[in-house]
Amino acid sequence: MKKYWVMKTFQEWWANFQSDGLIGIDESGVDGGYLELSNDEIRRLLEDQNNNFNDYQNRVFQQFCQWMQVDDFVLIGTGQTTTFNLSGIARVSGQYEFRNNPEPRHYRPVEILKVFESPRSMQRFIRTPRLERIDEADFHESIISLI
């Protein structure tokens, strides 16, 4: 069943997403494929005070690596903590992958469906810190509001 997501990312990552046909996340300490980590390894990451990996970050990784699926739609925004500027819309076209090179190391191939030359401010998503699942109605209302 198709799902809908809102993702906030860095401006420079958005440029890479467009040129590379991918979306991604990253976090120091998660230095291998997330799906290959055991529950004990995840627990150790959560307990490690030397990184920023916390329960919220773990949930983001679960959503991105496990719950997101091929053919899901993603509204991609950029901006400061209190803004969400819709920069593009993508459809997930591949499975989660890990690469041990430039950030983001954790990624999914996508088809970029729309790029907004002038990003559109969307107040409804200003509280989205990194990744959030939304329902189909919210996705459609967001698209309609752009018309």
Would you tell me which CATH number, out of the four given (3.40.190.10, 3.40.50.300, 3.30.420.40, 3.10.590.10), belongs to the domain 4-27+68-144?
3.10.590.10
Please report the pLDDT score of residue 145 as a whole number.
92
Statement: residue 33 has pLDDT above 90? yes
For the stretch 39-90, pLDDT in tens is: 999 999 999 988 889 999 999 999 999 999 999 999 999 988 789 999 999 9
- Do 108 and 57 form a contact (C-beta atoms < 8 A)? no
pTM of this structure:
0.94
pLDDT of residue 129: 86
